[in-house]
Amino acid sequence: RKIIFEKQWFYLDNAIGHIYGTTFEVTSGGNLQPKQEVEETTTEAKEAGTDNRNIVDDGKSQKLTHDDIKALKDKGIKGQEIVQQLIENSTTFRDKTEFAQDKYIKKKKKKYEAIITIVKPSTRILSTMYYAREPGKINHLRYDTLAQMLTLGNIHAGNKMIVMETCAGLVLGAVMERMGGYGSIIQMYPGGGPVRAATSCFGFPKAFFDNLHEFPLSQVQNLLCGTLRAEAEESALLQEESNGLSEEKQQETEEEPAAEAPMEISPAEEQDAVDIAAGDVECKENKEKENKDNVREKQIKQWERRKKLKEAAALLREKNADGLIVASKFHPTPLLLSLLEFVAPSRPFVVYCQYKEPLLECYTKLRERGGVINLKLSESWLRNYQVLPDRSHPKLTMSGGGGYLLSGITVLLERGSADCSNSEALKVEEPSSKRCKLQDLPC
Amino acid sequence: MSFVEYGDTIKDGDTAIVFLGHESMFPVKVQHGTVTQTKYGVIRHSTDLIGKKYGSKVTCSKGGWVFILHPTPELWTMNLPHRTQILYSTDISIITMMLELKPGSIVCESGTGSGSLSHALIRTVAPTGHLYTVEFHQQRAEKAREEFREHGVEHLVTVTNQDVCKNGFGVSNIADAVFLDIPSPWEAIGHAKSALKAEGGRICSFSPCIEQVQRTCLAMEEYGFTEINTLEILLRVYNVRTISLQIPDLGKTAEDNSSSGFDSSNPSHQGSPCANLQQGTVQFKSGVPLREVVGHTGYLTFATKS
């Protein structure tokens, strides 16, 4: 399979069988495997200037022309040699300081010596990559912020986590990596299904997915309100050998005609086929069988989906999750006020938001709701350094763009208010008497 | 309770966190018949704690109350008895991610110090991983061992009392990651390399001074480590405050003011904008930085053995 990366294209076939971290050089089309350590092209000419007082930018220091360089490239000459040629044909190179020479070589190497290192996927690699390449898809969640989330959320093996994310499945993948297949995760998703493009990049073993559940966000309200009706509902549904929530049933009936539609079309087509090539009954039968199989497969899939949904609903209904992680494009306040209902007391929760203001509001609303302590609004700054002998300095500051976190710990709500909170926490306005009562909380 | 597994109820022998409010809390060892004094009064362990759910509100003798929390490495970091300078959760989180730690990882650490990072490492590599931690100070090593036992994680950690720069980690070719927090990490890079698995692994060194980083980087290069990367992470915490700013009197009438569109989009303000304007103030919510200056903890240098 052909892959394009940084204006280069190559096939991966040659890379199989090598250990992770192996470096490859790209040739025309395939992969070549050079040594791990490229022997330093020690420019014997250790001549160097001390300053640039005599260096004039006349645009003529490089004696090789554009076309010469292109010719060298077309001949398929090793990048290393091209760099050497460039150095030899640079009139100013010898006058440059040692540091400037170093820099010059590095720059040219980057351009002409195309080397690729193949590494094992991990949260470190993928989150850095996503932040650099497609920050929009992960709501500008910087990798150090993601690291904070995993720690603040006390993510570890054996947890029962609730994750609500619209970060292409990157946050989910990070949580899965830290849980190592132990415990369970319930992913809440908006729309038709969870997005797991980034999750699949991790290459998790199948077993990790056994305890990964999903539950549609649009059913959360039903689940919270329906707790009283749940038993009756369930038994009624069981009689119809159906399951899950009543809403789910409606969805099913909506989906049914859609599933049938293609079946109606294809027999019509077959009719034509039969007219032309009569006697081809066998073929028709086969096709019909295929269709039936398809419908059946669909039904089985649907049935499995509903079964998983029911499992997820049951897990949520226990209201004893070990933590909540939210990182989405949606306003965090309603998500938190609802989803915290499913979390056990004395458990951490972390909400990510690209902007500070929604979290300010969320903070206020959580205080009004109660049942949380140690609320903290934070942001992390990350600074990278260049460390070289006599040339150490910060590389770049990344700030603002990494997003904000609101974290805290759940506690037991007061007996009285705990009962009403199921129904009332969802109404954003709390009774003022309760608010007064909560004001003297020590948090 | 265990630092690597959540429990529902408080049991005899547990370490629990007493939360007094306003970031003020302390750890307590739960024991039958023991009492703990707080500024809100006495907590009697047998009746007030044992058998209660974690996250409960506990009323003290003076009528005041506190919350009892399940211990986590992060809460422990905020409350542990300091025997040395410790690493805080901000640095710990980036270290954990950049070292690619997960359940099953084998990690070497030196020095153990007060065990702040150790608890976080153990939490992450449990239940199938292991931490080999080396501390050259005998008393600190002993104390760490005792704590790990108390916290129910002793099966996941081995504490060795020796000098890592001279004698290494006491293991070879088994680690997925190595962490160094010692004064002269460059002297331990060779030992770190031999502790790491033959097929490779990650290393991190924490140093407060750039000169230490410099020497460490040179040593790493010398030993053939690649992907050498130095970074620093800082945490900014914000207080959520409602701020009101006075509107200056420019001799305009109230109508003029409202037509100039003061903050009409602010939801917290929508309630009674007119009243506010008449009072001559505008209210808004703000995230106010806690401190003026963010401190420096240390430079983190990461590298890969491959």
Residues of chain A positioned with their CB less than 8 A from the CB of B92: 151
- How many Cβ atoms are within 10 Å of A311's Cβ, its own excluded? 18
Beta strands in chain B (DSSP E): 15-21, 24-29, 35-38, 41-44, 57-59, 65-69, 106-110, 130-134, 157-160, 177-180, 201-207, 226-246, 281-289, 299-305
Run of H or E residues at B278: helix B273-279
Q: Considering CB atoms only, which of B120, B236, B301 is closest to A378?
A: B236
- Asked if A382's CB is within 8 angstroms of B104's CB, the reply is no
**Which of these, B27, B9, B7, lies nearest to B17 by C-alpha position?**
B27
Selecting from B93, B128, B240 the residue whose C-beta is nearest the C-beta of A147 gives B93
Answer yes or no: is pLDDT of B244 > 70: yes
Tell whether A316 and A195 lie within a shared domain: yes
Q: Which residue on chain A is closest to B214 by alpha carbon?
A: A387
Give the CATH number of the domain where residue A400 resides.
Answer: 3.40.50.150
Q: Are residues A157 and A222 in the same domain?
A: yes
Q: Kindly report the nearest CA distance between residue B252 and chain A, in angstroms.
A: 31
The mean pLDDT of B207-226, rounded to a whole number, is 95
Lowest mean pLDDT among A133-142, A211-220, A227-236: A227-236
pLDDT of residue B293: 65
Residue A153 lies in a domain: yes
Q: Which chain B residue is nearest to residue A148, measuring alpha carbons?
A: B93
Q: Does B34 touch chain A (CB under 8 A)?
A: no
pLDDT of residue A229 exceeding 50: no
State the average pLDDT over residues B1-26. 90
B6, A347: Cβ pair inside 8 Å? yes
Q: DSSP character for B175? A: B
Could you tell me the pLDDT band of residue A122, with boundaries at 50, 70 and 90?
Answer: very high
Q: Which of A312, A352, A310 is nearest to A331 (CA)?
A: A352
Chain A contact for B54 (CB, 8 A cutoff): yes
Q: What is the DSSP string of B92-149?
A: HHHHHHHTT--TT-EEEEE--TTSHHHHHHHHHHTTT-EEEEE-S-HHHHHHHHHHHH
Tell whether pTM > 0.90: no
Whether A88 and A212 map to the same domain: the answer is no
Same domain for A7 and A93?
Answer: yes
Q: What is the pLDDT of residue B45?
A: 93
Q: Three-state DSSP class for B208?
A: coil
The mean per-residue pLDDT over the stretch A74-99 comes to 76
pLDDT of residue B164: 95
Nearest CA in chain B to A127: B97
Residue B254 has what pLDDT?
59
Of A92, A118, A144, the domain-final residue: A118
A373: distance to nearest CA of chain B, Å? 8
* B258 reaches A (C-beta below 8 A): no
- Looking at CA atoms only, how far is residue B287 from chain A in angstroms? 7
pLDDT at A37 over 80: no
**pLDDT above 90: residue A56:** no
Distance (Å, whole) CA A351 – CA A341: 15
Interface test with A, best of B40, B94, B203, B283 (most A CBs within 10 A): B94
Q: What is the pLDDT, as a whole number, of residue A436?
A: 39
Task: Compute the average pLDDT of residues A128-157.
Answer: 95
Give me Rg for the CA atoms of chain B. 25
Give the whole-angstrom CA distance, residue B231 versus residue A206. Answer: 35
Q: Determine if the peptide bond prior to A21 is cis (ω within 30°).
A: no
Residue A20 in domain: yes
- What domain range includes position A27? 2-36+51-118
Is residue A192 situated within a structural domain? yes
pLDDT class of A422 with cuts at 50, 70, 90: very low
A113 and A200 co-located in one domain: no
The CA-based angle B166-B167-B172, given to 5 degrees, is 135
In this structure, the answer to whether residues A111 and A6 fall within a common structural domain is yes
Stronger pLDDT, A175 or A266, i.e. the higher one? A175
Q: Is the Cβ of B213 closer than 8 Å to some Cβ of chain A?
A: yes
Is A211 within the bounds of a domain?
yes
Is residue A56 in some structural domain?
A: yes
CB contact under 8 A, B103 and A159: no
**A84-A90-A91-A95 Cα dihedral, nearest 10 degrees:** -70
**What pLDDT, on the 0 to 100 scale, is given for residue A32?**
66
A382-402 pLDDT, tens digit per residue, is 999 999 988 899 987 766 689
ipTM of this predicted structure: 0.92
One-letter identity of residue A127: S
Q: State whether A68 and A165 are in the same domain.
A: no
SS3 B191: helix
Whether A175 and A91 share a structural domain: no
Please indicate, yes or no, if residue A419 is contained in any of the structural domains. no
Tell me whether residue A148 is in a domain: yes
- Of residues A19, A151, A181, nearest to B89 (C-beta): A151
Q: At residue B46, what are phi and psi to the nearest 5 degrees?
A: -60, -45
A218 with A91, same domain: the answer is no
How does pLDDT run across B89-139, given as a tens digit for each residue? 999 999 999 999 999 999 999 999 999 999 999 999 989 999 999 999 999
Tens digits of residue pLDDT in B178-195: 999 999 999 999 999 999
User: Nearest CA of chain B to the CA of A423: how many Å?
Assistant: 22
Q: What is the pLDDT of residues A296-333, one digit of tens each?
A: 888 888 888 888 888 999 999 999 999 999 999 999 99
| HSE-up (13 A, CA, CB side) for residue B72 | 25
Residue B120: name the closest of B83, B79, B85, B72 by CA: B72
**Are A357 and B285 inside 8 Å of each other by CB?**
yes
Which chain A residues are Cβ-neighbours of B53 within 8 angstroms?
A: 345-346, 412
> Best of B100, B102, B106 to disrupt the A interface by mutation (most A CBs within 10 Å)?
B102
B92–A contact, CB cutoff 8 A: yes
Whether B217 contacts chain A with CB within 8 A = yes
Q: How far is CA A172 from the centre of its chain?
A: 7
Domains of chain B: 9-71 (3.10.330.20), 75-230+300-305 (3.40.50.150)
Q: What are phi and psi of A372, to 5 degrees?
A: -140, 145
Peptide bond into B127 cis (omega under 30): yes
Query: Quick one: A106 and A155 in the same domain?
Result: no
Q: Are residues A303 and A406 in the same domain?
A: yes
Nearest to B113 by CA among B95, B74, B152, B139: B139
User: Residues of B annotated as binding site for S-adenosyl-L-methionine?
Assistant: 114-117, 135, 163, 181
- Chain pair A-B, CB pairs under 8 angstroms: 195
Distance from CA of A76 to the nearest CA of B (A): 28
Measured in whole angstroms, how far is the alpha carbon of residue A415 from the centre of its chain? 39
Contacts of A303 (CB under 8 A, 6+ apart): none
Based on the fold, state whether residues A209 and A125 are members of the same structural domain: yes
Query: Can you tell me the mean pLDDT for B269-292?
Result: 69
Q: Does B15 lie at the interface with A, CB-CB under 8 angstroms?
A: no
Lookup result for tokens 């059913």: A219
- Judge residue A258's burial from the number of C-beta atoms within 10 Å of its C-beta, 0-12 exposed, 13-18 middle, 19 or more buried: exposed
Model confidence at A234: pLDDT above 50: no
Nearest neighbour of B5 by CB, restricted to A122, A158, A381: A158
| Binding-face residues of B in 100-139 toward A, CB within 8 A | 100, 102-104, 120, 123-124, 126-128
Mutation target for B interface from A120, A123, A154, A156: give the one with most B CBs within 10 A: A156
What sign results for the dihedral spanned by CA atoms B133, B137, B138, B144? negative
Give residue B213's pLDDT. Answer: 96
Looking at the complex, report in whole angstroms how far the Cα of residue B249 sits from the nearest Cα belonging to chain A: 29
A368 contact residues in B (CB cutoff 8 A)? none
Which chain A positions have a beta carbon within 8 Å of B217's beta carbon? 387
Tens-digit pLDDT profile for residues B137-147: 999 999 999 99
- Is B181 exposed, middle or buried (CB count within 10 Å of its CB: 0-12, 13-18, 19+)? buried
Nearest to A381 among B21, B72, B234 (CB): B234
Work out how many domains chain A is built from and give that number: 2
Distance (Å, rounded) from C-alpha B231 to C-alpha A382?
A: 7
User: For residues A360 and B242, what is the distance between their CA atoms, to the nearest angstrom?
Assistant: 10
Q: Is B221 on the interface with A (CB under 8 A)?
A: no
Structural domain contains residue A241: no
Beta strands A212-216 and A184-189, pairing class:
parallel
Q: Give the model's pLDDT for residue A116.
A: 81
